[in-house]
Amino acid sequence: MMKQSRAVSVAVVAASTATLLVLSLTGVGMAKSAVDAPVATAVAPVPVTVSMPVYSVPTPGRTGTNGIIRMRVGDGPLIKVMVDTGTVGLRLWGRVPEGAQISDQSITTRLDGKSVRGAIGSASMNFSGVTTTENVPFQYINTTSGYINRWKSLGVSGIIGLGVGAGDLTNPLMSLPGVLSESWSLNFKRRGTAGSLILGASAPLDATMNFDLPSQGRNRFGHLIWDDHSANGCWSVAYRPALCVPTWFDSGFTRMRVTGKEFNRLPVTASGRLDNKTSVRLAVETSSFFGYRVKAGNKASRNLVKVIPRGRSVINTGNAVYFAFTVTYATATGNIYLSSNTD
């Protein structure tokens, strides 16, 4: 803030009352006018953020926990959707939202391991009072399945894919106004306490780990997109030397999945689950510091690790990471930050 100097007059009275010397120390007008002048103030820009609660619910039909937010599509009412950073775009079932347009084109997605076809729709989307600057495409699924019915039983109307990569749809958050479209953070809490989705969240200064993502260019709206299935993660399993493999942070998946022939000698059960108490550690490619550590167990969304010892090496973190950390996505630079998940 700029401070305005006050003119200070100092009167020096000599021994003779006939002599009066006035010294102006600043040379800026008279003292009274300087005192009365308004003091200029500069208002610092305040970062624009919007905080949305994320509610934890038991994963229907299996063990684990998922995060739920409330949003609006078109002119429709608030609906509940499951938050899934492993996919891109909104998938809806049930009634067509008011104000939404449904096209004759269709796309296919995979839900619970099965292909599901649905029409492409388009509508504005609203998150805690903030509306997208453009109509955003979504998939409208006008069929049903056991998986969808289980979500319906919890009052959930769809899945919102908050991945930042390429896909047949786009991430709705990227269509929000201003800085809200460029970064956000996500964390989950155990039942009884809400986590948070903070739109416009700044990159944390005290991040435990910072992962770079390969660029995938821009989506149909010109927004920068990044290959978030290929973060530069280095994993040490069972205290073996760390292997750096493409890493996929996935809030919708309730177990960690370790895939690749390089992992064919890990200690696993007959069902392919990593043995209890086996150490799993994660570091950034440029560091030897393991910022994430877990002992394998049998609890989904906590420590359950499935091993598939074949094919291309890739590790899906599962959503336990979102309970352990606040995960921040910076789409302007292509980074994923893991920082403390404490209030």
Distance of CA 116 to CAs 119, 251, 286, Å? 10, 20, 40
DSSP type of residue 181: G
Distance of CA 203 to CAs 74, 200, 267, 328, Å? 31, 9, 37, 7
Q: Parallel, antiparallel, or unpaired for β 290-295 and 243-248?
A: unpaired
CA–CA gap between residue 152 and residue 18 (Å, rounded) = 97
Structure tokens that stand for 190 in this block: 């155990």
Residue 204 burial (10 A CB sphere; 0-12, 13-18, 19+): middle
Mean pLDDT by 10 residues, the chain (343 residues): 37 37 37 42 56 96 93 98 98 96 96 94 96 97 93 97 97 96 96 92 95 98 98 96 97 97 96 98 95 98 98 97 98 97 76
Q: Parallel, antiparallel, or unpaired for β 136-141 and 88-93?
A: parallel
Predicted pLDDT at 287: 92
CA–CA gap between residue 334 and residue 342 (Å, rounded) = 24
Q: Where are the domains of the chain?
A: 1-44, 50-205, 231-340
The CATH topology of domain 50-205 is Cathepsin D, subunit A; domain 1 (2.40.70)
